[in-house]
Each structure stands twice: as C-alpha cells, then as structure tokens.
Amino acid sequence: MYTRMLALLLGASACSASADKPAARIGIVIGAPGTKSSALRPVYDWAMAAVNEAGGAGGRRLEAKYFELTHELLASASGQEALASQILAEPDLVATAGLFSFAMAPKFVAAKIPYITPETADDDVFRAFHEGGFVWRTLESESTMLWFFLAEAKGRGEKAQQTKTKVALITSTDPYGATFFDWYGFHATELGLAAFSPVHYDQDNETCEGAVGDVLAQGVPDFLIAVPSGSDPVAQATCIVRLMKARGAKSQIMLADSVRVPALLTALGPDAEGLVGYHAEPDPTSGFAEAFTKKTQQPQPPENAANAIDAIALLAYGLEKSAGAGGKALDTGMRAAVDGRGAKTRWDELAATLKAIRAGESPDISGASGPLSFDGQVYTDPTASFYGRWIVEGGAFKTTHHVTTETEGSANVSSRAAITRGLKTLSLEPLPTGGGSANLPPLRENWALIIATSATWQNYRHQADALAHYQALKANGFDDEHIVLITADDLATAVQNPTQGEVINQADGPNVRAGALADYKGVSLTPAQLMTVLEGGQDPSLPAVLRSEAGDNVYVFMVGHGGVEGPYLGLDGRAADDVDENEFLSPELFAGTVARMKKNGKFRRMFIAVDACHSGVIGPAFEALSIPDVIVFAGAADTESSFSANYASRLKIWTADQFAFGLRDSVTRPAVSIHDLYTQLYRQVAGSHVQIANQAHFGDATQIQLGEFVTRQAR
C-alpha cells in the first residue's frame, strides 16, 4: 500500500508544466535551525516535488524560496515587517507558506498574496483576518485543543457522578498561552463546568510556585490544565506537576502539546505516570504517518508535517483553479477548491486530483491532516481536524485514541460552532419580570459617564470604544455639559498613528476623536475619585462630575482591562494581572455608591455597561443590594475574557471590543427594549456570555427602551 502511496505522491506524470510560464515561486517561512518549524523544510520539499512530478499546477512549476524567521526577528515587529517586504520583492511570487507572523500578515493582505500556515494556533489569526481573505491555515486554533481537555473533564466527571466538575487552568503569558487563557472561561461555561479563575504568569522570569498557589487558594480542582511555555517549558511542567503532588492535590493534570517530548519523561521520571494531553495528528485513516516513515526511515513525522503537506497541496489546487494566476485569482481558486463536492479524493492522490481540476471537475478534496473543509463564508480556518489523546504509561507516551472536530453528519455540530466561532449553544435564561419603583417621576434630564480605563497604543480599542460612544450620544442630542468623558487621549498624536489626529472604531470608519471634549485626559483616577465623579460629590481635584437629580436617567459605560477583583482603573497601559489590587474598582464599592445615589435621590433610572475581562464579577454586588431601577450589563462572565474586534491592518491594531461595539451600534439605533438589547448582544458577541444583573429590581425590561438613557431631547 505504501509503495502505491509514494508512487502516486512522487511518481512521474504524463503531464508537465508549460515551459512558456515562469515558475510559481512560493516563499516558505521557517524558524531558526533546531526549531520545530525548521524540521518541516524537507516536508515542504517533498510536497513541492510531488506537485512538480504531477505536472505542476496551473501549467506552472512550483519553486520554493526559504526565509528564516529567527528568534531576533520574532522579538521585533519592525524586523518581521522588513522580512515581509523582502519576501514580497521576490519575482513571480504567488503565495507564502510556513511559519506565521502576525506583524507580517497585513503586508501580504495588502499585496493580495495568499499566506497559508500549517503551524500557528493563535486564535487571533482567525478573528483578525477572516473577513479580508488571503490568510489561510491548515491547523485549527489551540482553542480546539482546550475544548477537548474540558470535554474530557466533563465526561469523566459525569461518569464519576460529580454534580459539577471543578477545573483550573495555568498558562504562560505569551501568545501560545493567551489562546488557552482567553477561551478557557467560555468553553467551561458552555460545558457546565465549575471553573476556577484562570492563572497565568511569565514563565521565562517566574517559577510556578505563585501560580500553583493561586490555583490551590481557590480549592483543589478535579482537573488542572497546564500550558507550559517560555524558554524551558519542560522545566515549567516539571515544577507544576511536582508542586501539585507535594501539596497533596490529587488533581488530574492535563498538559498542552508543548511538552509532549522525551525530555519531560526524563525530567519527571515516575511522577510523569498518568499525565494526559492532546496534540494535533494526521488523519489516522490517511496512512500519512506510515508513508512518511517508509520514505524517510524516521519513526514519526515532525509536528505539523501533515498540515505542511496540505498547505502546499491546497496552494496547488488553487493554482490549478486559477490557471496559474496568483493574487486574488489564487485566493478565489483556493476557495473554489475547498468548496468542491464532487468525487472524494485523498492526500496521496495529488496527481489525480490536479488532473480532475484541470478537466473542469470539482473534487471533494481531503488532506493528510483530515478533510480540507472550510467555512463557506469566511474560510481561513479548517472546520475539521484530528487530535490524538495521549497518556504517560510505563514511562512512555501512549496514544489511547483519536478525536476529531469534523461535524459533517455528526451530533457535535453545535459544539464545533462554539469552538470555531465562539458561538453559544447555551440558551438564554428567561429574564425575571422586574420590580422597579412604582412611582418614578417623569424623565427630566439625561447624564452620561464614559470611561476608558487604559492608555497606550496597544490598548487602542478601549479609547476608541469610549470615543465612539461619546459620538453616538452627541448625535442623539447630548451636549458636553451632560457627558463626563474620561480618556487618556494619547492615540490621535501617537507616533504609531499613520493618520495623525484621527481615531477610528472600525477599519475605514469615521474619526471618532473629531470634536471630542475630554473632561479628564491622561489622569488615572482612583476608584474613590471615580465614584465621586459618578455621585456628583465635592472634590476640588475633580473639575467635572455628574450633577444628576431624582428625575434624571444616568448612562454609565466603562471599557478597559479587568480581573476577578473588578475593572482596572489605571491609565498607564499595564495589563490587569500586573497591577496592585487597590487599583481595581471593587464591585462592592461600585454597587455601594450606586445604592447611596438612589437613596439620596441622585437618579431616576441607571443603565450601567462594563466591557472588560471578567466584568461579570460586578453583577452579584448589585444583586446583593437590590438597588431599585438599576440594570447592569457586562461583556463577559466572571471567568471569561472579553474579546476584541475590528482589526485594522493599516494600523496593525484592534480598534474595538465586541460587546462595546455591539452596544454602541444599538446606541445609534436606540428604539430597542432592554430585554431585546440583552438578547441581541448575547447572541452577537462571540467568545463570551454577555451578563445582565439586577433585572429583578429594574422594572419591565420588555417595555423600557435603551433610548430612555441614550437619547436626550431638546429641553
């Protein structure tokens, strides 16, 4: 069988590439020598030779040009951009494949040169580039691997008849760990697990002791998912495993694929027994692993070898569809190739598949990594792949079985949608009827407090969201006397800004900085000071406060970083996990201030919206005080991240947050009930579960409209 496979893959073809057409050059990006990426070079050579032996693609012979993305370049965005320019300068370049760089991608998108990677698992790739085309990958996000970890925890917990299985997560702070950290709360919520607050730390500069301590301070989880990374992931995994054992925690430890290496077994010895994990593998029915061993005499293919073979095959099929043209035609050709639903073909039938496409057919193509199936609207990511579940037994890694995310004809379609898009399978809970004050005074006036709680270019989206809200309120009749705007205001003139003076909330959108009058610029208010602004207190250091009264409605919108302690109010650009707990606005302080305002006749009704990671933590404090006529929206549950949106390649930055952008859109069309607003945002926001709190004390949400808070009539 293997001889047949290799003959089909590498054997001579009756056809040959036209001598009239120049070779189609593929720029292939690999890592420095010794990296797992560099180990794929012979695999790319194998795939390119197979295409050429099959007569080329679109009448053109494929030619590889290799480029190294070194450790030094990985540490420099400008260096990566320079490398992208070097690749794009290659004559007859039709596509780029290999190691992915987020900083490089916008240049290829702008040049309309497809960039296909078999390696990156960073979830941001899909969210940033799926709308524009030209970015493809043959490997799913690490979010998928995380789903399998949590799904196993749920299944084993149910088998043991546990009411709610407790899970915990420790990750690195680098991009590899970030995907696990970002999606953990969402997937755990979807699966009905009791999720501890996730813990992440700098694994290059810290030991695991603090992180393990933070987990165990929350209790002993039934399952601990550990994501070792950094310069020595094996050392980090060893630290976590041994410390958990030393502290008597009998949790099942699950390890990410970064440490499925012999060095882990050597480092841990008997302590490695029973560790489990998942890693991407070729389709076990494809015969790829056996064919690779037959050809190379190596015991197993390097990591992502099947995905690398598929990347080159997909480019070849696209070139055959485009008659050898690159650019947009190639991207369109790749889409047509994966959309084909004719006769099914295998990865080892490359020549036959190219011949069928050349004859005008549209075969249903499969790759060595699984079916080459992509979402028919956004493409970018495959919708099916295989993972091997492994366990350490007898001092060796043993694959127990394979799992697949393929959904065609499967009962797992809803789960698959959650993995790929962050869509929700959980139904909305019915909202309580609501019991606000019976005799509210007529609406007299409207006030708004808008707060962006972070600074610096990297946090662009937060200030852009705040400014977009400001502009929407101004368009709805608010004047600056009735809006208090708090923002660092350091984006319009930032050195990174190619359009000085402008801030946008979506690619090619209007300038939301135009005419904005900020009451506090570049000033980091303390939690107490912010509450004084909201409450309208007297403080000579606070030049602008809300002066709302008993007949006034108040709209509060806050966006920035957050943690389990509450929203972070710093404006110095630090991430929430790097700050002192005293810099967080505690839910109790927030709720207590609003309760006092109601008691003292400072508002009629209040609408509060917070977009930050873990922003759902604020809700219970309001519920506990049963404050009349207040509704609280949060962009994410207490264990969840809040996801960014609207990546602008021109700026190389995210310009919005999903929840904030959706809410701002509703502010521009405010004739929507609070009930319907919640329903819309819950369904629209991917990757987190929008929360609503204090509804039982607010009033009839089916009758009260958003416009009551965000539209100020001429008075």
370-371 sheet: strands from edge to edge: 344-345, 364-367, 370-371
CB 575 within 8 A of CB 453: no
Q: Which two structure tokens, joined as six digits, stand for 477?
A: 């009749």
DSSP of 91-160, one letter per residue?
TTEEEEEES--TTTHHHHHHHT--EEESS---THHHHHHTTT--EEESS--HHHHHHHHHHHHHHHHHHT
Which residue spans within 187-251 are E strands per DSSP? 194-195, 199-201, 223-227
Query: How far is Cα 206 from Cα 225, in angstroms, rounded to an integer?
Result: 18
Mean pLDDT by 10 residues, the chain (715 residues): 38 49 95 89 96 96 95 88 96 95 90 92 79 87 89 89 90 89 93 94 94 97 95 95 96 95 96 95 93 89 94 97 95 96 95 96 95 84 88 96 67 46 71 82 97 95 98 98 97 96 96 97 89 95 96 98 90 52 88 98 98 97 96 96 92 95 97 96 93 94 96 78
| Integer Cα distance of 53 and 386 in angstroms | 29
The three-class DSSP label of residue 543 is coil
pTM summary value: 0.90
| pLDDT given for residue 4 in this prediction | 39
Do the Cβ atoms of 429 and 692 come closer than 8 Å? no
Q: What pLDDT, on a 0 to 100 scale, did the predictor assign at position 6?
A: 39
Instruction: Give the three-class secondary structure for 455.
Output: coil
Exposure of 264 in the CB half-sphere (CA atoms within 13 A): 28
Q: What is the DSSP letter of 368?
A: T
Strand boundaries in 126-284, DSSP class E: 135-137, 166-172, 194-195, 199-201, 223-227, 252-255, 276-281
Residue 553 · residue 443 · CB < 8 Å? yes
Q: Looking at residue 575, what is its pLDDT? A: 47
User: Which residue in this structure is represented by tokens 């043959």?
Assistant: 138
Report the pLDDT value the prediction gives residue 112, as an integer from 0 to 100. Answer: 95
* Cβ pair 631, 607 in contact under 8 A: yes
Closest CA to 280 of 298, 263, 258, 297: 258
Q: Which helix (H) or strand (E) holds 521?
A: strand 520-521
**H/E element holding 646?**
strand 644-648
Strand partners, 201: 172
H helix and E strand count, the chain = 23, 27
